[in-house]
Every structure is written in C-alpha cells, then in structure tokens.
Amino acid sequence: MDDIRNYYSIKSNYFDHNSTTPVSEDVIQALPDFLQAWGNPSSIHWAGRQPKNILRDARQSLAKNLGCSPLEIVFTSGGSESNNTIIKGLFDYYQTDPLSPSGLKSDLARRKHYMCSEVEHPSVLKTMIYLKSLGARVDLIPVNRQGEMDLQFYQEHLSPETALVSVMYANNETGTIFPIQKMAEMAHSQGVLFHTDAVQAFGKVPVNLAELGVDFASFSGHKFYSIKGSGFFFVKKNTPFTSLIHGGGQERHRRGGTENVLGIACLGVMAEKLSQVSTHVAQVAGLRDHLESRILREIKSVTITAGENPRLPNTSSLVIQGVDGETLLMNLDIKGYAVSTGAACSSGNPEPSPVLLAMGLSRDEAQSSLRLSLGWSTTREQVDDFVEILKPIVERLRLIQAESGGDPHV
C-alpha cells in the first residue's frame, strides 16, 4: 500500500492535466468527514439530512461561481453522461410533443437537424452518430489547421429545422478556445438551442454561464482536482429536454438514481476555488509559453498546433517531426514523465488523433504529436527539467529513424 501511495505521489513529472488532475489536498483532507455522511439524501429522517445539506451547499457554490441558478444544475457521473443526457434528451423531447394529450407529434417533430464540430469529444461525436441511426440529420462544422471554426459553414447550415448545436468550449487536445458566445447568439437567432461541452475549460479559465448565453453546458469534477465519477450539467430554466436516466425523483426528476454524495461533496470543495482560476491563468500560461519557447529554440523541426489562436493557458500540442508520438511517450514514461499523444479516452488506439486529422494535419504529423498540459502545481524548474529530458530522447529516436530508413514507426 505504501508503494502505491509513493508511486502516485510523484506529481512533479506530471504533464497530463487534460486527461485528469491530481486530487486536491483540500479534497483529501475533507474526505473522512464526507465519508461519515453515509445516509441517503432522499431520506426524510435524520440520516438523510447531512447528505442533503452537502448536495445543497455544493449546488449553491457551483451556481454562485458559474453565474447561474442552483436549480439549473443537475449532478451526473461526469462529462460523458452529461453530454449524452443533453443531446439524447433533447432528441427524445422533439420526437414526442409532451404537450399533446394524444401523444401525437406536432411541429416540434420537424426539428431533426443537429450540428457539432469535427473536433468534439467522442461522447458528443458518437452520440450524434447514434442520432443519425434514429433518423436525425447531422452536420459537422469544419475547422482549419489553426483550429478555427468555419463560421460561414455554420451560418449557412443553421435553420429552423435545427434542434441543437453542440460545440466544446475548448478542445481537449489542442487547447483551442472556440467563440461560444458568438455561436450561441447565431443559433438563438434561428430559435436553435446551444450546448457547450465545458469539461476542459472547467478550472482552467473563468466560465460565466450568464455571459456565454448557452442553454446547456457540461462539466466534470476530475478535470478540476476532484475525484472521478462526479460531474454536472447546466440547463437554462424552462429549456426542454427529457431525462436520460429514469427512476426516482432525484435532481428534480432530471436524473434518476441516488446521488453520488461523496463525489458531489468534493465538487463543492473545488467550487469554492473557482474564484482563484483567474489568478492562475497568467501563471500557468507563462509556464506554457516558457516551455514552448525552449522546445522551439532547442529542438529542431517542432511546430505548435493552433499556436496562433486563443488556447487554454495550460495546453501545448506539438508535432515533433521524425519521432513517433507513442514511442516518445513510452520513452518519457520510462523517465517518469506523464504526457499524452492526444485524448486519454482514446489511449491504446493505434490510429492517429481524429482531431488533428480533422484540422488538416497529415497522418505522419498526427502520429508525431505530443500533448503537454500543465497544472496549478507545475513549476518552472519542473518545466526546465522536462525539456532537458526531452532533448536527448528526441535526438536518439530521430537517429534510430534515420538508421531504419526514415520510418519513425519502426
């Protein structure tokens, strides 16, 4: 047990905060007290009161710091469930008019068109593919090599038949931040609802839902120093959708099942730290810029993907020519460094990143990618140490490639 604790206590070499974050020490210290609140929050007797208060406090804290009403927050297991609930729930809503006593479809059923970007998280893209199998029409909004959204395509394909647009706040691989407020306004001008997957933005940049003007937004606790298995989504008051999980009356009948009190309690702890996000942006961005500057200066033939456009302050997506990304990752892992070649949910997939391919990178470029994502605890010394480790590894792998006839995947 001590070996496991020691293994996971090595945070200084962790450069993969976009896949998950170390659990906050404040959360760890609060866990014993939270574990004592073992009752069911739906119970009306004494055992349910403390858990119920925990849910209330977390909901209020999240709402206060995200610019919405507590009643507009629905707790879930995380980002993927939230995305599925919103997209499938709205599709179900538009298939059966809930206002019709006969259950017959009305003009609501004409909204069978859905849109999302080509670089969405799989929990959005695959849900959209699922809707297509049920008869929906889905358009994917293109992005260019710099990660910019094709707003002309978007405008041309919006119509009164569109039910929902789903575009992530920031991309999990490149860190690209999309113009969500503008896109939501464009959707609303056509009477179309708008959802943003804000999972990667949560805790990295300030998020104000009132200013964004979206109808739905998804969040996940483990991306912001909380424990896994807990998240939530925002649904604007009076916005239609149908529950994905039917059961009891939890979450005001919007998500059945006994709530994950422990996970929600931890979310509440981190919700209080959302006010600190803006103070960390400049610090983390400075480290990211220093990291990129050193790599570009000291290692030849490296490019930064989408480096000229707004990005999350912690994220750097690199293409290191002449090096296979997976091989580089394994060599860095041997040295104790945790990095990524793309989305953690796609690890083990030999195919190059669909996000990078959608942006127009070649297959070889996509297979030579490396994603580095910093956190609040990352220091300049750790960044410098990483660069010193990276340089000889890249040099050695390029030499191996040259000796193998130029194939970086040999």
Catalytic machinery residues: 345
Cα gap 346→342, rounded to integer Å: 8
Between the alpha carbon of residue 114 and those of residues 141, 144, 234, 266, the distances in Å are 11, 21, 19, 34
Cα gap 14→385, rounded to integer Å: 12
Whether 402 contacts 394, CB under 8 Å: no
Q: Which residues of 95-108 are buried (b: 16+ CB within 10 A; e: fewer)?
A: bebeeeeeeeeeeb
Q: Residue 188: enclosing H or E segment and its boundaries?
A: helix 180-188
Between the alpha carbon of residue 298 and those of residues 223, 302, 390, the distances in Å are 31, 10, 10
Burial of 135 (0-12, 13-18, 19+ CB in 10 A): exposed
Cα gap 230→62, rounded to integer Å: 13
Q: Count CA within 13 A, CB hemisphere, residue 210.
A: 8
Give the length of the chain.
Answer: 410
Q: What is the dihedral of CA 145, 194, 315, 285, to 10 degrees?
A: 110
CA 78 from chain center: how many Å? 10
Contacts of residue 395, Cβ cutoff 8 Å, sequence gap at least 6? none
Between the alpha carbon of residue 66 and those of residues 69, 201, 208, 340, 361, the distances in Å are 9, 12, 5, 29, 35
